[in-house]
Structures are given as structure tokens and as C-alpha cells.
Amino acid sequence: MKALGILLILGVLMTSVSLAENVPATSKKAVFAGGCFWCLQPGFDHTQGVLATTVGYTGGQVSTPTYEQVCAGSTGHLEAIEVVYDPAVVAYEKLVDIFWRSVDPTDDGGQFADRGSQYRTAIFYADDGQKRLAEEAVRRLAASGKFTKPIMTRVLPAAVFYPAETYHQKYYLKQSGRYNDYKNGSGRADFLKKAW
């Protein structure tokens, strides 16, 4: 059983490396913050046109922060995901829609069981086009009547993205039981099922 787990982790890491090596020059990056970054990765990983995902930290003032530092809430960073995608296959708007379906965009104090500014939602734009599309998406969601509370997701300029520690990458595959316990226990799974 242990050997199977090691093979699975090696397979995930090798896939990540081969994807990174085969990323076309026309690929782009999108960055989203939505509470626990473990819960953001599956939705993007299972989307055609997404070439690679990395969970990490962004938006703060501390260089190369650790998980413990970010969790303490003193770095200014948010837990986030960096998505490398092929815009010829998947539109940025589709990625924003996947993000919406992974979070509670009305919660300004964190996400579900995770409280604090490091768990707030944000869309980090890389250029004016992403900024325009993200702002339009926020306005569209607010006008949709989907939520009775205001949309609190921020649209912010991209900052340095620091990859999280290796054990956090693809956590939903490495520790599927713990991941599912967390997703259900935190209230995220129930909220998303009811909201969408």
C-alpha cells in the first residue's frame, strides 16, 4: 500500500514536470485565491486546456513565505492557485467560472472553516484584459441574483507567486481521504452543492 502511494506521488510529480516542459509559448497564467488552496486544484486540473496548476501564496509582503507563516496571518499573503492554460482551448472567462463554483464569493472573513485575511477570495489579474474580464465577471455575478449578500471577491494586480511546499501540491490526490474529510467538514462541499 505504501509503495502504491509513493508511485502515485511520483506519477503526479512526473506529470507536473512533463506538463511544464511541454507548455506552449502562447500559454497564459491565471491566479485565484479562494481559501484553502487544496480545494481549488481539482476543478482546474480536470478542465481541458489547463496545462498545469500550482498552489501557493501571493499578494503579501514576505519573500518565500512558509505555510506556517501564511496561516498565522502576518504575511499579507493569500492562499492561492496559479493556473497555466492554453487560451486557444479554454477561455479566461471559463476559468473565472470554475473559480466561482469553488468558493463563497460573499464571505469577506475567509472561506468556510478557515477564517482570516489569508483565506479571502481574490482574482489576481496579469494584464488589462484579465482585469476587464474579472471585473465584468464580478459585476455579472452580483447582478445575477445568485447570492443575496454582496460579492466580496477582490480584483487585484498580480504579485509574486510563491509555490507552496511540495506536500501541498495535488493534496487531493496524495491524501484523498484527508482531503475529502476536510472539504466536507469545513462546510465547503455542502455550500457549493446548494449554491450551484
Rounded to whole angstroms, the Cα distance separating 87 from 177 reads: 33
Provide the phi-psi class of 73: left if phi over 0, else alpha when psi is between -120 and 50, else beta.
left
Catalytic residue (choose from 31, 36, 52, 95) = 36
User: Residue 92 in contact with residue 30, Cβ under 8 Å?
Assistant: yes
In the numeric block, the cell 478542465 is attached to 47
User: Quick check: is 36 catalytic?
Assistant: yes
The string of DSSP letters for 87-108 reads TTTS-HHHHHHHHHTTS-TT-S
Query: What gap in Å lies between CA 38 and CA 33, rounded to an integer?
Result: 11
Residue 78 identity (one-letter amino acid): L
Q: Which residues are catalytic?
A: 36
